[in-house]
């Protein structure tokens, strides 16, 4: 992969340092993280080693606009095995936070946020579920539109 040097963004590197503890700077690209990652079995293009490298190189646009930063399942397998102690899931979280700040939010994530804002859950309670709960003597589940606000303090 060839990268234009104009893609380097020093401010992005400084912001990443502010969000994170810089353990990613110790990465020596051994690939143990990628070899350990279960997500690669589902999406071959996902590559945590490459994402750490892109972040280290200060490639802000390419890193934050990558859909791959959203695919990490936070299983921590890579972090447990990394010989350099890079806490990759935390790197992913930092990248996601910065991506949101910069407006790089994938459409499915926007939909998830909207659903959580509206109902406090990702799927509506349909008649079938409501009836099942009644039959089993369980209380009905009410929509909880304040859920996201309560979690984040953000406007729903």
Candidates 3, 30, 42, 151; binder of ligand SF4 (CB under 6 A) is 30
**Structural contact between residues 95 and 48, judged by C-beta atoms closer than 8 angstroms:** no
DSSP per position, 28-80: ----HHHHH-GGGGT-TT--HHHHHHHHHTTBHHHHHT-GGGGT-----HHHH
Least distance between ligand SF4 and beta carbon 113 (Å): 21
- Applying CB under 6 A, does 129 fall inside the site for ligand SF4? no
Region of 103 please: left (phi>0), alpha (psi -120 to 50) or beta. left
Number of neighbours of residue 24 by Cβ within 10 angstroms = 23
x/- string (CB under 6 A) for ligand SF4, residues 48-87? xx--x-------------------xxxxxxx---xxx-x-
Cβ closest to ligand SF4, residue 12 vs residue 46: 46
Stretch that binds ligand SF4, among 34-42, 60-68, 104-112, 147-155 (CB under 6 A): 34-42
Interface residues toward ligand SF4, by CB under 6 A: 27-33, 36-37, 39, 48-49, 52, 72-78, 82-84, 86, 88-89
């Amino acid at each position: 992969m060839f990268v234009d040097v104009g893609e380097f963004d020093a401010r992005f590197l400084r912001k990443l340092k502010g969000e994170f503890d810089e353990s990613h700077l110790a990465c020596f690209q051994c690939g143990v993280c990628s070899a350990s990652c279960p997500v690669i079995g589902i999406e071959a293009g996902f590559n945590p080693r490459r994402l750490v490298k892109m972040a280290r190189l200060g490639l802000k646009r390419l890193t934050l606009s990558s859909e791959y930063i959203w695919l990490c399942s936070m299983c921590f397998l890579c972090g447990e095995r990394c010989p350099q102690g890079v806490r990759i899931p935390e790197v992913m979280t930092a990248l996601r936070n910065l991506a949101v700040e910069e407006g790089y939010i994938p459409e499915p994530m926007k939909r998830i946020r909207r659903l959580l804002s509206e109902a406090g859950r990702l799927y509506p309670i349909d008649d079938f579920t409501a009836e099942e709960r009644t039959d089993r003597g369980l209380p009905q589940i009410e929509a909880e539109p304040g859920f996201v606000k309560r979690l984040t303090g953000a406007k729903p």
